[in-house]
Amino acid sequence: MKHLITPNDLSDKEVEELFEDARIFQDLRSNNILEGKLVVTLFFESSTRTRSSFEIAAKRLGAEVVNLEVQTSSTNKGETVEDTVANLNAMKPDAIIIRHKDCGLPASLKTYVDCPIINAGDGKNAHPTQALLDLFTIDQHFEGNIQGKNILIVGDIVNSRVATSNLELLPRFGLNPILVSPPRFQSNSSFRNATHIKEVIDDADIIMSLRVQHERHEVNISKEEQEREKEEYVRDYCITKELVGDRDFLLLHPGPVNRNIDITDEMLNDPRSKVLKQVENGVAIRMAVLKKFILQKENIENKRIKVKSSKGFSLIELIFAIAVIAVIASVAIPKLMGVNSKAKTSTVNGDISTIISSVQSYHMIHKKVDKISDSVTLNPTVWSIADKEVIFKENDKECVKIAVSDSQLTVTIDQASGDVCSELYNNGVRNEVFALN
Number of helices and strands in the chain (H, E): 15, 15
The number of residues that bind ligand NCD (CB under 6 A) is 10
Give the per-residue contact string, 367-406, with ligand NCD (x = CB under 6 A; - = no): ----------------------------------------
| Single residue of 255, 329, 355, 400 touching ligand NCD by CB under 6 A | 255
Burial class (CB in 10 A: 0-12, 13-18, 19+), 407: middle
Taking the C-alpha atoms of residue 21 and residue 284, their distance in angstroms, rounded to an integer, is 8
* E strand map for 123-253: 150-154, 176-180, 192-194, 206-209, 250-252
Is the Cβ of residue 50 or residue 273 nearer to ligand NCD in the bound state?
Answer: 50
Which residue, judged by CB position, is nearest to ligand NCD in the bound state?
211
> By CB under 6 A, what part of segment 203-242 binds ligand NCD?
211
Taking the C-alpha atoms of residue 104 and residue 228, their distance in angstroms, rounded to an integer, is 34
The CB-of-211 to ligand NCD minimum distance in angstroms stands at 4
Quickly list DSSP for 59-83: HHTT-EEEEE-GGGSGGGGT--HHH
Is the Cβ of residue 37 or residue 161 nearer to ligand NCD in the bound state?
Answer: 161
Is residue 49 near ligand NCD by the rule CB under 6 A?
Answer: yes
Secondary structure letter of residue 305 according to DSSP: P
Is residue 50 near ligand NCD by the rule CB under 6 A?
Answer: yes
| Single residue of 60, 100, 141, 161 touching ligand NCD by CB under 6 A | 161
For residue 132, the number of C-alpha atoms closer than 13 Å in the C-beta half-sphere is 38
The CB-of-248 to ligand NCD minimum distance in angstroms stands at 26
| Single residue of 153, 162, 325, 409 touching ligand NCD by CB under 6 A | 162
Is the Cβ of residue 31 or residue 119 nearer to ligand NCD in the bound state?
Answer: 119
Distances (CA, A) of 119 to 31, 41, 98, 128, 279: 24, 10, 5, 7, 17
Give the per-residue contact string, 114-143, with ligand NCD (x = CB under 6 A; - = no): -------x-----x--x-------------
Taking the C-alpha atoms of residue 224 and residue 238, their distance in angstroms, rounded to an integer, is 20
Is the Cβ of residue 116 or residue 255 nearer to ligand NCD in the bound state?
Answer: 255
Residues that bind ligand NCD (CB under 6 A): 49-50, 121, 127, 130, 161-162, 211, 254-255
